[in-house]
Homo-oligomer: A and B are copies of this chain.
């Protein structure tokens, strides 16, 4: 056959990029078709409709990307310093264009979670997976943490702050400001350990 799986992957890849940059609603299928060179008929052969394409992008592109990005940060001997190193290196490598696009999860959460239930549950599931990943690794070194730290609550707080920092960077178009907020986040994380 004319490699159907390749076609599907090509659509998924371009759609992921486009949704990341423009948002889901603002992403037009015609733009995806133009960039991929795929016809509308082919796209609708692989995906029932735009929404299903969005779900597939979320599940097959964003979710693994996201979890694999965070995993190394916490699956080290000392997740506290691992998280600090993760945020710090993110600051250094991220240029303005990256910051302007923001985090796909954060973007979709903002745009779609109050509009479409299918997106909402997928976003929530990813957020819970991430929270479990962080919290369980913090629990692993609980003897090194301050007394009375709720690790799940702290993990949610860290991710929320990180997303908030991304939003700020978006409007300020200022990497320094982003770095400052991340610096404050790191000092908070430090304060969790004894």
Q: Mark A53-89, 1 if CB is under 8 A from B, else 0.
A: 0000000000000000000000000000000000000
Number of copies: 2
Cβ of A163 within 8 Å of any chain B Cβ, yes or no, is yes
User: Are B173 and A160 in contact (CB-based, < 8 A)?
Assistant: no
A123 touches B171 (CB 8 A): yes
Interface size range of chain A in the complex: 35 or more
Most chain B CB within 10 A, of A171, A172, A181, A188, is at: A171
Q: Is the CB of A124 within 8 A of B160?
A: no
A43 within 8 A of B: no
Q: Which of the residues B111, B154, B161, B183 comes within 8 Å of A161, measured between beta carbons? A: B161
Asked if B106 and A170 sit within 8 Å, CB to CB, the answer is no
Q: Is A104 an interface residue (CB 8 A)?
A: no
Complex CA–CA separation, A180 to B152 (angstroms): 9
Given contacts A101-B114, A124-B173, A163-B164, list 9 more A-B pairs with CB under 8 A: A107-B110, A109-B170, A120-B171, A120-B173, A124-B171, A156-B177, A156-B181, A157-B181, A164-B167
Q: Which residues of A come within 8 Å of B, CB atoms?
A: 23, 25-26, 100-102, 106-107, 109-111, 113-115, 120, 123-124, 127, 150, 152-154, 156-157, 159-165, 167-168, 170-173, 177, 180-181, 183-185, 188, 191
A-B contact pairs, 17 of them (CB 8 A): A107-B110, A109-B167, A109-B168, A109-B170, A110-B167, A127-B172, A152-B180, A153-B183, A153-B184, A154-B184, A156-B177, A156-B184, A160-B167, A160-B168, A161-B164, A163-B168, A188-B188
